[in-house]
Chain A
């Protein structure tokens, strides 16, 4: 026998709880399965009561504003005893590209698969014994247990396999070949045997109600690997002509956001696809379920009748919805601006056991046509234009760029120069550095200068958008002028400080990267300054620091000491050396190398070096060894070729050069020559662990050589005879 509901208010209370229970379950299920129902991101903190609607406080679970579709959804229950069946359906569209009307359209058959079926219902116990007395306590217990049940339901929604698909769809901006829709009805089409085998069941413990019990159960597919977006290979690989990192692009540019990249990719490969009629929706998602149907109806109020849903609740069964025409009925159903007198969700409704609860008239859900829930809008396909990556021509490969720019190939993947404006910003940093270094005096502690300089270098590098340019400039102080006797220094004139851009603007050295990064600071002579460039080739050399010291004489050339911490090959040093030597500068740069290196004939590379020097930048690092006529590889004798070829040849040479350590024979020859020249008292120290004192000693010897060279006009390469001159002390006087 049924529990006697003593008053109509009791019945009203009962119906309200049941209807809110069903509504909350529907909202909870859809908001964690349908991407379009996903609420805005929030911190999870509870907003003030004034901002949380009373209708959302039911069962102490705030889910946020209900979507407009859910608000407009007229869920009609002829009887609260009817179950609410919520099918979560994955629509898998087998895409086939077809062209027509200058548009690429993706069409295909849609395969629907029910991955979850939720059944929320109130089971009436007509056979239960009659219970007398106040039912308030029963309502309270029912309400409290419902709170706990919804907590479990909320957690369960995240643990079931379907949540993964929902999360992928929600977070993915790419065009997907699958989408999730839902269908709400009072009857669930039975599964086939094959489907049943794939489904698992889980039932939440029922909650005893006044006349029955509240039940929530789910049948779900345990294996959804077929619909895994991450493993989806629906789209064939597409060759992207101007991918980031290609020679036609600027590898140094920051990578576009993944959204843009993926969008570009998807656009180029997928072209257009049928989009929903709602312009606010993502073009790549299916507006499924009732939401889509409502949207369609909004645009086509007198559109065709929705397809008949198999076995589902049909509105024409209800006399309340008998209309004269199908279209009219559709209109009545689908017009979102229709005059639905009774709103499904009365904002004044509040949970029964909350302090702010207030009685309100019960409302009835008007069932939306289940057939409409299955109706998906077939709007006109929209061609999505191919994304055009905005590539500035200034970021073309150096091979194709302005010859005034450097023409060496990007020795690093990110070795493209920034915009001149950015370089302009780098100049001040370099100027700041040079001014700081001016304070350094010769003979200053190696370690001190090293530390201060090194830190400054890194700071400057990082100031420039995290890119280590290593730009060291002696600033615009005119006293840095030096005598230039070679026309091969014309690149200096081509340069404008403000327009200078680092050709190898590289990222910060990532020490955690096992692959050596290319870091290059540029040393370059300019009339008003001195820029030094160091290049760290992959796996060859790690430039630790550069010590830049100034001299008192205006005509004196700055000395710089490059401490190379590690190296794996000599080619870079050879390269640097011969480049520097070919510049024929009238100075002797102190080039302290805490590593071994060998030099070969440099005469053969003079032509190449000339070309290189004609570029907008050139290497100034000189070593006395190079000027001593070390021999360079014959591969350098490239003659007058194009800059690109020269650069390419240089790179090949550098990469194929054997490591220095294996080249002991050459070194021995070199060391002999050095000893013959007697300039390097510490030549053997190149193999020895370097200490500050050793470096200072070497610096002194280099200074002696510098003075010697200066005394001999600096144009001529120091000959062997000159090299055999007695060594000079630091002051340039013969010892």
Chain B
């Protein structure tokens, strides 16, 4: 059985993508890295939120790489709803296939993070948000602050939802192997160059893993 989680998002700015994605992905991974971990607190820079990482250096690198790829994709494809998919799977050796020993992935959990990036992408996403704030006028500044507060509230709510879901659904989790850190194989999918390809990939995965349950 697979569980689909769709986290709908508000409009985010480019410079917020990195922080938000990092927070959500690490939070999910912390709840799914069921091996021996030492929790690591991380204070977000743009929000007054502290989330927990599992402290795996390799995971941190991989997540940062994926986020950078995602940001590049977003900059190249403005005005498109984007999605990041974090999947956990089991590796099944399909021994029934005589002529091929294809390794089958059995996805037992998938998390979808939908993002609606702001319509006015910045030329340089690495600009500090402070400069952006200074550029805006007073009215825009208040609007930006209000939007920022709303975004923080939404992010908190999303984190609560993640914890709630993780807390409620435990039966589908495969047995935990006796290893440190990340215990289950995972993959992070970002939109590829073609939206169509990404949609097809997702559809295929849905067909493979059975009847999906859409939860919002």
Contact = CB atoms under 8 A, between A and B. Distances in A.
A144 B51 CA distance: 22
B163 A46 contact: no
Given A159-B159, A159-B163, A144 B175 contact: yes
Given A42-B38, A61-B37, A354-B178, A151 B55 contact: no
Contact of B53 (A44, A57, A60, A144): A44
A164 B167 CA distance: 23
A151 to B, nearest CB: 5
A53 interface: no
Nearest to B175: A144
A205 B52 contact: no
A138 interface: no
Contacts of A46: 36-38, 55, 180-181
A158 B175 CA distance: 27
A154 B50 CA distance: 11
A568 interface: no
Interface string B18-52: 00000000010011001111111101000011111
Given A57-B36, A61-B39, A167 B50 contact: yes
Which residue, of A44, A63, A147, has the highest number of chain B Cβ atoms within 10 A? A44
Contacts of A155: 27, 30-31, 51-52, 159, 162-163
Interface in B149-196: 156, 159-160, 162-163, 166-168, 170, 173, 175-176, 178, 180-181
B31 A158 contact: no
30 contacts: A43-B40, A44-B39, A44-B53, A45-B40, A47-B38, A57-B36, A60-B35, A62-B38, A140-B175, A144-B34, A144-B175, A144-B176, A147-B176, A148-B167, A148-B170, A151-B30, A151-B31, A151-B166, A152-B163, A152-B166, A155-B52, A155-B159, A156-B163, A158-B41, A158-B50, A158-B52, A159-B160, A205-B168, A205-B170, A353-B178
Contacts of B36: 46, 52, 57, 60-62, 354
Given A44-B39, A60-B34, 12 more contacts: A44-B54, A46-B181, A57-B36, A62-B36, A62-B39, A144-B34, A145-B170, A148-B166, A152-B166, A159-B49, A159-B159, A167-B50
A64 interface: yes
A321 interface: no
A204 interface: yes
B215 interface: no
Interface in A153-181: 154-156, 158-159, 163-164, 167
B144 to A, nearest CB: 19
A149 interface: yes
Given A148-B34, A155-B51, A204 B167 contact: yes
Contacts of A42: 38, 40
Q: Looking at chain B, what size class is its interface with the partner chain?
A: 35 or more
B57 interface: yes
B211 to A, nearest CB: 24
Contacts of A63: 38-39
A355 interface: yes
B173 A144 contact: yes
Contacts of B54: 44
Contacts of B34: 60, 144, 147-148, 151
Interface string A39-69: 0001111110000100001001111100000
Nearest to B27: A155
A158 B51 contact: yes
Contacts of B30: 151, 154-155
A45 B166 contact: no
Nearest to B51: A158
Nearest to A148: B170
A163 B52 CA distance: 13
Nearest to B36: A60
Interchain residue pairs A-B with the least CB separation, the first 10: A44-B40, A44-B55, A62-B38, A158-B50, A152-B167, A60-B36, A151-B31, A152-B163, A145-B170, A46-B38
Contacts of B181: 46
B3 to A, nearest CB: 14
Interface range, A side: 20 to 34
Interface of A: 42-47, 52, 57, 60-64, 140, 144-145, 147-149, 151-152, 154-156, 158-159, 163-164, 167, 204-205, 353-355
A63 B43 CA distance: 18
Nearest to A151: B31
Contacts of B55: 43-46
Contacts of B159: 155, 159
A215 to B, nearest CB: 12
Interface of B: 27, 30-31, 34-41, 43, 48-55, 57, 156, 159-160, 162-163, 166-168, 170, 173, 175-176, 178, 180-181
B54 to A, nearest CB: 8
B170 to A, nearest CB: 5
A158 B53 CA distance: 12
Contacts of A152: 31, 163, 166-167
A159 B167 contact: no
A155 B156 CA distance: 11
A48 to B, nearest CB: 10
A541 B178 CA distance: 69
A43 B39 CA distance: 9
Nearest to B157: A159
* Residue of A61, A149, A155 with highest tally of chain B CB at under 10 A: A155
Contacts of A204: 167
* Residue among B39, B53, B163, B180 with the highest chain A CB neighbour number at 10 A: B39
Contacts of A140: 175
A145 B176 CA distance: 10
A42 B170 CA distance: 30
A149 B38 contact: no
Given A148-B167, A158-B51, A64 B41 contact: no
A62 B39 CA distance: 7
Contacts of B35: 60
B212 to A, nearest CB: 22
Contacts of B176: 60, 144, 147
B45 to A, nearest CB: 15
Contacts of A156: 163
Contacts of B180: 46
Contact of B57 (A45, A62, A145, A158): A45
Contacts of B162: 155
Nearest to A45: B55
Contact of A205 (B37, B53, B167, B178): B167
A44 B178 CA distance: 20
Contacts of A60: 34-37, 176
Contact of B39 (A52, A148, A154, A205): A154
A534 B39 CA distance: 56
A203 to B, nearest CB: 9
B124 to A, nearest CB: 16
Most chain B CB within 10 A, of A43, A147, A205, A354, is at A147
A613 to B, nearest CB: 43
A47 B50 CA distance: 23
Given A60-B36, A62-B38, A152-B167, A159 B156 contact: yes
A147 B180 CA distance: 13
